[in-house]
Amino acid sequence: MGVRRAAKDVGDFLVETVGEAVAEVILSLLACALLGCLALIAYLSWSFSPRFTIAGSGLLSLFLAHGAWQTLRAPAKGRRRGLAALTAVGFTVTAMTALFLLFYTAGCDCL
């Protein structure tokens, strides 16, 4: 019984290790693809119209700044509604995407 249990434990360890390695590769590929898509969007936007790109970047910055302010300030009484909720969600999604890219594109050779 001891040999079977040891073999089962070693097999479980190998399956877990290979699963983690595969998941790491998949996440790194997703991060590189996302970074490439963001760079392509920026390039195409700039080639279409530099003025609209700068104006859009300014509006996006204002949107994210309002979302950060809504998310990080002391909570007000009641729930957030309308634009405040939308900007808070937008900021949170952008922050999580930035963290994802920070963690998984650091080891990527696409940079």
Q: How confident is the model at residue 95, as a pLDDT?
A: 92
Spell out the per-residue pLDDT of the chain, length 111, in tens: 578 888 888 888 888 999 998 988 888 888 888 888 888 999 999 999 999 999 999 999 999 999 999 888 876 676 667 888 889 899 999 999 888 888 887 766 665
Residue 18, both tokens: 């290979």
Stated pTM of the model: 0.71
Q: How confident is the model at residue 79, as a pLDDT?
A: 65
Amino acid at 71: T
Domain spans in the chain, listed from the N-terminal domain onward: 2-104
How many other β-carbons are positioned within 10 Å of the β-carbon of residue 76?
A: 9
What is the C-alpha separation between 16 and 51, in angstroms, rounded? 51
What is the C-alpha separation between 18 and 52, in angstroms, rounded? 47
